[in-house]
Structure 1
């Protein structure tokens, strides 16, 4: 196990735990996590995952700002963004977009070493599974920024696929982390639902 894998994994676990608790500091710890994992994924030829870390770096900053500066009608008791549900139309669009995005990115990832042989000397490992992780993570992150409960359902799907993927690539500590993430995401889902239901009690 490399230092990148170890410290990236620890930072990621802390960030997810804070997210499950709806704690705004998850975004700051997330920045450390994505920088370390960017270099790790380059080393093990999971290139879509590598590109995904650039996206995560940007969205960690956006998410931090969004949670801390909600509109007045969106504020919770901590003066942060309230947890809410998506509407069915948007949920359907995201499901369709995830499927199309996985196929298109998978086809591109499958040919990266042919298109850019100077940069990508080895073929992409598991291009479609890795692309699923990337595409669904992108959608889940945007939903997380908006504090949508459905983001946790998407994270559970990502975590299951990623667990198998990382164990297959023999980055076992990272694979173990994503196995733990499956349980943390389930906890986050239940905790956010509970907090959302508490809003009604406060209004009553």
Structure 2
């Protein structure tokens, strides 16, 4: 209990302000999860879930922090979404490994799937913006909705093994970094900034893995009864 109380209250002084320790720790787990995802390791999913739980308490702001803490409902909601999709991805990667293959084999999304991703990102952002506004999310609310929907699509794309999921993260970071700086969540903002570079590296790593993939050849043994 003492450790949990310390974790929720502890802060790291930075100049004239401070950072929540759980925000820093949560983002460290997030980066470890991203690194594991780039290497296609199954442990990336449970490590990411731990980070999501910590960051959920951060972005709910006034509920777990001080009364004047900014509440980002999109950021908080996406932590819950991350956990749900992570369970799906964890099971999918484990099943693929049990079938005798890699945890996941990178593949390109089809043309229809790419159109669907873009459509869901745009329509989802427009649809959720007024919802988040009514619930009291921080301005600009559309940016919060964009990061929420984009994060959902990127995590789902990772579970499916689509190479394009890294580029969705780039689109999320472009909007998410300025939003987080404006709300004072500096640890997460700097993580997003670093993650933006990391995601580009991950994209090329998965692209190379896809190109290096050896074609599967199914060998059919002749039926001895057929002469």
Question: Are 2:78 and 1:60 equivalent residues in the alignment?
Answer: no
Q: How high is the TM-score relative to the length of structure 2? A: 0.79
Q: What is the aligned partner in structure 1 of residue 46 from structure 2?
A: 28
Which structure 1 residue ranges, 4+ long, deviate > 4 Å from structure 2?
none
Match runs of 1:10-159 below 5 Å:
10-43=28-61, 44-70=70-96, 76=101, 78=102, 80-113=103-136, 123-159=137-173
Structure 2: gaps of 5 or more residues: 1-18, 62-69, 218-227
How far the C-alpha of 1:70 sits from its partner, in A, is 2.1
Q: Distance in 1 between matches of 2:38 and 2:142?
A: 28
Q: What is the aligned partner in structure 1 of residue 21 from structure 2?
A: 3
User: Residue 85 of structure 1 aligns to a residue in which SS?
Assistant: coil
Tell me which of the two structures has the higher relative contact order, counting C-alpha pairs closer than 8 angstroms and 6 or more residues apart. Answer: 1
Q: How many residues align?
A: 191
Report if aligned partners of 1:46, 1:125 keep a CA contact under 8 Å in 2: no
Higher radius of gyration, 1 or 2: 2
Structure 1: gaps of 5 or more residues: 114-122
The CA deviation string for residues 19-62 of structure 1, in whole angstroms up to 9 with x for no partner, is 12222211011011110111100112101111111111111111
User: Residue 82 of structure 1 aligns to a residue in which SS?
Assistant: coil
Report if aligned partners of 2:40, 2:104 keep a CA contact under 8 Å in 1: no
Aligned CA RMSD, in angstroms, stands at 1.9
The CA deviation string for residues 97-138 of structure 1, in whole angstroms up to 9 with x for no partner, is 11011011011111114xxxxxxxxx5332100100001111
How far the C-alpha of 1:139 sits from its partner, in A, is 1.2
